[in-house]
A and B are shown apart, each in its own frame.
Chain A
Amino acid sequence: MAVDKVLLKISCDNWLVVFGILVALLLRNVTMLHPYSGQGKPPMYGDYEAQRHWMEITTNLPVSEWYRNTSDNNLEYWGLDYPPLTAYHMYFCGLIANFLNENYTVLHASRGFESDEHKIFMRLTVLLCDILVYIPSLVIFYYSCAKLYQSDSANRSVKQNYTIPSSLSIILALLYPGIILIDHGHFQYNNVSLGLTTFSVIFLLHQKNILSSIFFCLALNYKQMELYHSLPFFLYLLSTCIPKPGKRAISGVVSLFVLGITVVVTFSIIWLPFLFDLDILLQVLHRQFPFARGIFEDKVANFWCALNVVYKLKVCDKAKLMRICLFTTLSAVFPSSVDLFLRPNRKKFILALINSSLAFFLFSYQVHEKTILVVALPVLLYFPENPFVCFWFLFISVFSMVPLFVKDDLIVAVIALLMFYIISFYVSMKYYYQSRCNSSNVSNYHIEQIRFLHNLINVDVKKSDKISRVFKMITRSRKTVEYFIFFLAMLLSFVGSLLIFVISIVFEPPVKYPDLFPLLISIYSCFHFLGFFVYFNVKQIQISQDFGDIGNVKLKEN
C-alpha cells in the first residue's frame, strides 16, 4: 500500500489518537529513567526485587515448590503471593532474563541483583505488557463504547449524545499518571490485570458473556485484587441468565450452565499444575490471602485508617476485626449490587464496578494504597460520561499515593506527570466545549450548561468580561448554580491537596509525629473517596433499567 494513501485514510481524529499513544509511550519511557521501589536499599529492596525474585524462583524450581516454603524458597523473602497466571508470566520473563544474562536469575546468588541493563530489561517487560494488553484494551473500549452509545441515542432522545469524543478519552486515559507511576516508576504489572479486566468489560458490553467471563477469570488469576470487581461481573452475568419475558425458563438455566462450565474450565486450566495435590492447592490459596497481616499497611486512604486516628484499631483482635470488615464491606456493596441485579443495565455496569471496588477499597481488610488503581480503572472507563467528576477522582487517587512516591523518590515524576495530565485535560475540555458551543446540534436544555462551562474554562476572554458573563449565567437558572458550586468545590479541593502536597515536601514533620503528612494525605483523600462513593452510588441508582432487549423480544413475537 502506498504510504500517502495510508496517511490519507487516517482521519484527523485518528491522528490525534496516534499522537496520543506515542506521547503516552514517550512519557512511560521517560518515567522508566526514574528510580524503582527499593533501588539500592538492601536487604529487602522493594517490589522490583520481588518481581525479579519471582523470576528466579519460577525458572529454577519445579512448579510444586513455587508457593511452598522450602530450603530453596524462603517465603519470608518476597514469597510468591500472586495467583498462578502471574507466576507463569514471571516464568516466561525469567526464561528471557536467563537467556540475556544468566546472573539475572541464579538461585540464591542473584538476590538483590541490580544493574543498569537489568533495569532496562525489567522496565521493557512492563512496557511490553502495556503495548500488548493495556493500551489496546483502552483504545478498543473507547471506540466500541462510543458506538454503543451512538446506537442507543439513535433509538431514543438526543440526550445521550453528550459524551466526550473517544479520541480525547483515549488520550486522557493513557496519560493518567497513577498507572504510569506505579507500573513504570514504582514497578509492578498492574497493567496486565487491568487490561484483561477492560477486555472483559468490552465483551460484556457487547453481550459476549462467555468471552467476558474467560477474560475476567484471566484477570482474576493474574492478580487477586480483581476480586474487588468480581461482584458486579457475577451479578450482571447472573441477571442475564434470568429468562426474559417471552423466553422459556430452560434457556436461562442453559446459559447459566454454560457460564459456569466456562469459569470452571478456565480456572482448572490455569490451576492445572496445582490441582493434583490438595496440600499444594491449599498452600497456593493460602498465599493469596495473607490474613495474618494487619488491617491496613502503611497509610491508606480508607475508612479504617481514618478511623484509626480516633480509635486505635490495631489493638483489636484480628478475627473480630476481620468479621467487622466483612460486614461493613458487604453492607457498603449491597445497594449497588442489588440495584445492578434487579434492574440490570449495561450503562449501569461500569458504575457498579466503581461502586463495588470503591466499597472494597474503603472498608475491606488488608488494603494497599496502590489498590486505588483497581478503582481508577472503571472511573477511567466512565470518563466520557462525566469527565469532571472522574477527573477529580483520578487526581485525588494520584494524590492519595503521594506518600508511596515520596518513599520511592518519584516526586519529580509525580509533579511532571500530573502537570502534563492536568494541562491536557484542560486543553481537551476547552476545545471540546468550544466545538460544542459552535455546533448547532444541541438541545436548548444543554446549550446553557455548555456555554456556561465554555465560559468558565476559557481563559481567552478578558477577566472582567468573564466574571460578569459567568455571573449573568449563574443568576439565570438553578442548573448553572449547581454547576458553579461544583466547580468551586473542585477548585477548593485541588487547592487544598496542593497545599498539603507542598507542605509535606517542603517542611520536615514534627519529631513527635513522623507520620503526620502521610496521615494527613490519606485522611484528606479518604473523605473525598467517601464522597465519591456516595455520588457514584446515587448516579448508578438514578439510571433506570434497560428494557432494550426485552422490547426487541416482544417485537419479534408480534
Chain B
Amino acid sequence: MILIIALLTSSLKLLLMPAYYSTDFEVHRNWLSITHNLPVKRWYYDDTSEWTLDYPPLFAWFEYLLSYPAQFFDKNMLVINNLKYESRETIIFQRLSVIFMDAVYCYGVHRCCKVISKGWRTDVVLPILLITNCGLIMLDHIHFQYNGFMYGILLLSIADMCNDRFLKSAFWFVVLLNLKHIYVYASPAYFIYLLKTYCLCNRPISDVVLTQKCWSNTIKLGSVVIGVFVISFLPFYDHLPQIISRLFPLKRGLCHAYWAPNVWALYNIVDKAVFFAASKLGYHKGEAKAAMTGGLVQEYSHLVLPNITPRITIILSLIFVLPLMVKLWKLKCPTDFIRCIALCSLTAFLFGYHVHEKAILMAIIPITILSVRDPLDAKIFLILSTVGYYSLFPLLYPKNLFLVKTLLLIIHSLYSFHSLSKMYTMKICKYSLPLLNIFESFYLFSFCLIHTYEHFIHNLLDFQNKLPFLPLMITSVYCSVGVIYCWILYFIFSSKDLSQL
C-alpha cells in the first residue's frame, strides 16, 4: 500500500516538474557547484553567489555526493560562476533528485506505520496522510527544498525510539541535526527522553543510584552523539567560528520577510496598530521606516513596543518548554515522546527568532502519527495542518499555481477530515465539521473568505499599489491565531494528562 501511494504521489511530483521554483533552486545549484569544485576548507568561505552555504556540514557532503550524478546531466551547472543557471537538464536533475530522495521519507513512513500497527488505520490512513502531505509537496516539489528526506530521517529516528532502540534513534537524530540545524527545536525532547529511559534506565528521581549499566549506557550514547559531530565537523576544525556565523545568522530580523504565523506576527500587528492609533491621535513618533513585510529589510525595529532581541526569544521558548520537559520526565510512553517533539517544535516555532513558515511542518508531521491514535490529537492535527498548509501559500505566489495549491489543500484536508471522522465515534453536532466545535469550524471556513479576498477582492478594490502587503499580513495574522490556539489547547491537554496520573 505504501509503495502504491508513494508511486502515485511521485507521478504527481514528476508532473510538477515545470512548475515555478523559488530562489532556493539557485541556492542548491550553487551549493552543488561549491562542493564539487572547491576544496573542503573553502566551502564555508566562498561568497561568489549571495546564497552562501548555511547548512551544517553533512548537508554539504550530501550536495557533494549529488554533484557526481549531476555531471551526467549538465556539466555547466557545476560551474561556480554560472549564477542563475537554469538549463532544462539542470531543472530535471534537481527535481529528480528531490523526488528520489523522498524514498527515504517513504521508508520512514513505512517504519513508523509498522511501529504503531493498529489495523487499517495505520495500514491505509496513516501512510496516505503522511506521504501525500501537501505541505511537503508544496515546499519540496514546487518551492524546491530537500525537506522530504530529512523528515524521513526524523521518522526513522522516531520509529527506532518507539522500538526502544535508543542508540540508533539518537544516531539518526544527530545525523539529522548535522543535515539541518533547525531540528534543534526537537532536541529537548530527545535529551530528556534519552536521559530518563536510557541513561537512567527509567528509575525515578528519588533513588538515583547510578549503576554500572547506567554508566555504560551514558558512555555509549555520548560516544555516538560526539562521534557523529566529530565526523561531520572534523574537516572544518580550524574554522568553526566561520561555520557558526553562517549557521546562525543573527543579523537577520525577528521575522522573516513574510511573517511566519507565530506570536511575533501578532506582536508586530499590535505594534503597527498602536503606532497607527498614536499617529492618528497626534502623537507622532516618527515615520514608519519601511514596510514591515517588504522583504528587503533585514533588521527591523518596532515603532512603539520594545524591540525583541534573540535572547528574549530563547528565554521565552525555554520557559514554555520547561513544563513539557518536567512532564516528559514523569512519563515514559513513546506516545508522549512524539507528542513532546511536536509541542517543542511548536513552541519554538511560536517564539523563535527569525522563524521560517516552513518550520510548521516539524510540528505537523509528528502530530500526524498521533492523529490515528487519539481524538484530541486528531482534532489538533486537523486544525493545525489546514492552518499550517494555508500559511505556506504565499510561498507559491505565481498566478498559475493558484488552482494547484488550492486543490492540493482542499484534497488533503478533505481526506483528513473524511478518514479521521470515520475513525472515531463522535457525537454528531450540527453546523460543524467532524471532531471540531462550531467556532473552530467557523475559523476554518473563513479561510475561504480570506483566500478569495487575497486573490480577487483585493485586486478589485485596487489596493495593489496602496497596500501591497495587506494580504500577506492578513494571512500570517489569521494563521497565527489558529496556530496559537492549537498550541494552547495542546499545552493544556498535556498538562491535564499529567494531573490525571
Inter-chain contact B404/A120, CB cutoff 8 Å: no
Q: Which one, B13-21, B77-85, B259-267, B295-303, is touching chain A?
A: B13-21
Of A3, A27, A33, A417, the residue contacting B18 (CB under 8 A) is: A33
- Whether A19 contacts B431 in the complex (CB less than 8 A), given A30-B16, A31-B15, A33-B18, comes out as no
List the A side residues contacting B401 at CB < 8 Å. Answer: 33
Inter-chain contact A116/B12, CB cutoff 8 Å: no
Instruction: Specify which of B18, B415, B418, B433 lies most central, judged by the most chain A CB atoms within 10 Å of its CB.
Output: B18
Q: Is B210 an interface residue (CB 8 A)?
A: no
What is the interface of chain B mostly: helix, strand, loop, or mixed? helix
Of B4, B399, B411, B418, the residue contacting A116 (CB under 8 A) is: B399
Q: Is B366 an interface residue (CB 8 A)?
A: no
Of B4, B14, B431, B433, the residue contacting A427 (CB under 8 A) is: B4
In the assembled complex, the Cα of A412 lies from the Cα of B13 at a distance in Å of 11
Q: Is B11 an interface residue (CB 8 A)?
A: yes
Inter-chain contact A15/B407, CB cutoff 8 Å: no
In the assembled complex, the Cα of A23 lies from the Cα of B92 at a distance in Å of 24
Inter-chain contact B431/A2, CB cutoff 8 Å: yes
Q: Is A140 an interface residue (CB 8 A)?
A: no
- Whether A33 contacts B400 in the complex (CB less than 8 A), given A15-B418, A22-B411, comes out as yes
Q: Is B428 an interface residue (CB 8 A)?
A: yes
Of B11, B16, B400, B421, the residue contacting A119 (CB under 8 A) is: B400
List the A side residues contacting B415 at CB < 8 Å. Answer: 19
Inter-chain contact B400/A26, CB cutoff 8 Å: no
Of B4, B7, B19, B434, the residue contacting A33 (CB under 8 A) is: B19
**25 contacting pairs across A/B (C-beta < 8 A):** A3-B433, A4-B428, A4-B429, A4-B430, A4-B433, A18-B414, A19-B411, A22-B407, A22-B410, A23-B411, A25-B407, A26-B404, A26-B411, A30-B12, A33-B19, A116-B399, A120-B400, A127-B403, A412-B14, A416-B11, A419-B11, A420-B8, A420-B15, A423-B4, A424-B8
Please give the distance in Å from B321's CB to the nearest CB on chain A: 37
Chain B residues 414-437 with CB under 8 Å of chain A are 414-415, 418, 421, 428-434
Given contacts A4-B429, A30-B15, A117-B399, 15 further A-B contacts (CB under 8 A): A3-B432, A3-B433, A4-B432, A4-B434, A15-B418, A22-B407, A22-B414, A29-B403, A31-B15, A120-B399, A413-B15, A420-B8, A420-B11, A420-B15, A427-B4
In the assembled complex, the Cα of A2 lies from the Cα of B433 at a distance in Å of 9
In the assembled complex, the Cα of A195 lies from the Cα of B171 at a distance in Å of 57
**Number of A residues, CB within 8 Å of B:** 38
Chain A residues 96-144 with CB under 8 Å of chain B are 116-117, 119-120, 123, 127
Q: Is A8 an interface residue (CB 8 A)?
A: yes
Inter-chain contact A416/B411, CB cutoff 8 Å: no
In the assembled complex, the Cα of A19 lies from the Cα of B8 at a distance in Å of 14
Instruction: Specify which of A26, A32, A123 lies most central, judged by the most chain B CB atoms within 10 Å of its CB.
Output: A26
List the A side residues contacting B428 at CB < 8 Å. Answer: 4-5, 8
In the assembled complex, the Cα of A412 lies from the Cα of B10 at a distance in Å of 12
Of A15, A22, A33, A417, the residue contacting B11 (CB under 8 A) is: A417
What is the chain A residue whose CB lies nearest that of B430?
A: A2
List the B side residues contacting A461 at CB < 8 Å. Answer: none
List the A side residues contacting B400 at CB < 8 Å. Answer: 32-33, 116, 119-120, 123
Q: Is B335 an interface residue (CB 8 A)?
A: no
- Contact code string A7-36 (vs B, CB < 8 Å = 1, else 0): 110000001001100110111011111110
Q: Is A264 an interface residue (CB 8 A)?
A: no
List the B side residues contacting A419 at CB < 8 Å. Answer: 7, 10-11, 14
Q: Is A534 an interface residue (CB 8 A)?
A: no
- Whether A35 contacts B8 in the complex (CB less than 8 A), given A15-B418, A120-B399, comes out as no
Of A29, A119, A424, the residue contacting B404 (CB under 8 A) is: A29
In the assembled complex, the Cα of A417 lies from the Cα of B11 at a distance in Å of 7
Inter-chain contact A19/B407, CB cutoff 8 Å: no
What is the chain B residue whose CB lies nearest that of A116?
A: B400
**Number of B residues, CB within 8 Å of A:** 35
In order of increasing CB-CB distance, the 5 nearest A-B pairs are A416-B14, A416-B15, A419-B11, A420-B11, A2-B430
Inter-chain contact A423/B432, CB cutoff 8 Å: no
Inter-chain contact B18/A412, CB cutoff 8 Å: yes
In the assembled complex, the Cα of A31 lies from the Cα of B16 at a distance in Å of 8
Chain A residues 33-56 with CB under 8 Å of chain B are 33-35
In the assembled complex, the Cα of A298 lies from the Cα of B14 at a distance in Å of 29
List the A side residues contacting B407 at CB < 8 Å. Answer: 22, 25-26, 29
In the assembled complex, the Cα of A31 lies from the Cα of B7 at a distance in Å of 18
In the assembled complex, the Cα of A437 lies from the Cα of B408 at a distance in Å of 35
Chain B residues 427-480 with CB under 8 Å of chain A are 428-434, 441
Inter-chain contact A423/B12, CB cutoff 8 Å: no
Inter-chain contact A27/B19, CB cutoff 8 Å: no
Please give the distance in Å from B422's CB to the nearest CB on chain A: 8
In the assembled complex, the Cα of A435 lies from the Cα of B157 at a distance in Å of 37
List the A side residues contacting B408 at CB < 8 Å. Answer: 26
In the assembled complex, the Cα of A424 lies from the Cα of B9 at a distance in Å of 11
List the A side residues contacting B433 at CB < 8 Å. Answer: 3-4
Q: Is A491 an interface residue (CB 8 A)?
A: no
List the B side residues contacting A424 at CB < 8 Å. Answer: 8
- Contact code string B92-129 (vs A, CB < 8 Å = 1, else 0): 10000000000000000000000000000000000000
Q: Is A275 an interface residue (CB 8 A)?
A: no
- Contact code string B260-288 (vs A, CB < 8 Å = 1, else 0): 00000000000000000000000000000
Please give the distance in Å from A244's CB to the nearest CB on chain B: 49
Please give the distance in Å from A32's CB to the nearest CB on chain B: 7
In the assembled complex, the Cα of A18 lies from the Cα of B407 at a distance in Å of 12
In the assembled complex, the Cα of A160 lies from the Cα of B428 at a distance in Å of 40
List the B side residues contacting A5 at CB < 8 Å. Answer: 428, 430
List the B side residues contacting A423 at CB < 8 Å. Answer: 4, 7-8, 11
In the assembled complex, the Cα of A427 lies from the Cα of B430 at a distance in Å of 36
Instruction: Specify which of B11, B418, B431 lies most central, judged by the most chain A CB atoms within 10 Å of its CB.
Output: B11
List the B side residues contacting A4 at CB < 8 Å. Answer: 428-434
In the assembled complex, the Cα of A415 lies from the Cα of B14 at a distance in Å of 8
Inter-chain contact A412/B15, CB cutoff 8 Å: yes
What is the chain A residue whose CB lies nearest that of B14?
A: A416
Inter-chain contact B431/A3, CB cutoff 8 Å: yes
In the assembled complex, the Cα of A417 lies from the Cα of B8 at a distance in Å of 10
Chain A residues 402-439 with CB under 8 Å of chain B are 412-413, 415-417, 419-420, 423-424, 426-427
List the A side residues contacting B398 at CB < 8 Å. Answer: 116
List the B side residues contacting A26 at CB < 8 Å. Answer: 12, 404, 407-408, 411
List the A side residues contacting B404 at CB < 8 Å. Answer: 26, 29-30, 33
In the assembled complex, the Cα of A417 lies from the Cα of B428 at a distance in Å of 40
What is the chain A residue whose CB lies nearest that of B411?
A: A22
What is the chain A residue whose CB lies nearest that of B421?
A: A7
What is the chain A residue whose CB lies nearest that of B428?
A: A4
What is the chain A residue whose CB lies nearest that of B19?
A: A33
Inter-chain contact A30/B19, CB cutoff 8 Å: yes
- Whether A7 contacts B434 in the complex (CB less than 8 A), given A22-B410, A116-B399, A427-B4, comes out as yes
In the assembled complex, the Cα of A120 lies from the Cα of B402 at a distance in Å of 10
Please give the distance in Å from A461's CB to the nearest CB on chain B: 15
List the B side residues contacting A416 at CB < 8 Å. Answer: 11-12, 14-15, 17
List the B side residues contacting A34 at CB < 8 Å. Answer: 18
In the assembled complex, the Cα of A550 lies from the Cα of B429 at a distance in Å of 53
In the assembled complex, the Cα of A413 lies from the Cα of B14 at a distance in Å of 8
In the assembled complex, the Cα of A427 lies from the Cα of B403 at a distance in Å of 27
List the B side residues contacting A120 at CB < 8 Å. Answer: 399-400
List the B side residues contacting A3 at CB < 8 Å. Answer: 431-433, 441
Inter-chain contact A19/B15, CB cutoff 8 Å: no
List the B side residues contacting A18 at CB < 8 Å. Answer: 414
List the B side residues contacting A116 at CB < 8 Å. Answer: 398-400
List the A side residues contacting B16 at CB < 8 Å. Answer: 30, 33
In the assembled complex, the Cα of A471 lies from the Cα of B441 at a distance in Å of 56
In the assembled complex, the Cα of A416 lies from the Cα of B95 at a distance in Å of 13
Please give the distance in Å from B375's CB to the nearest CB on chain A: 15
In the assembled complex, the Cα of A8 lies from the Cα of B432 at a distance in Å of 12
In the assembled complex, the Cα of A34 lies from the Cα of B11 at a distance in Å of 14
Please give the distance in Å from A164's CB to the nearest CB on chain B: 18
Please give the distance in Å from A157's CB to the nearest CB on chain B: 35
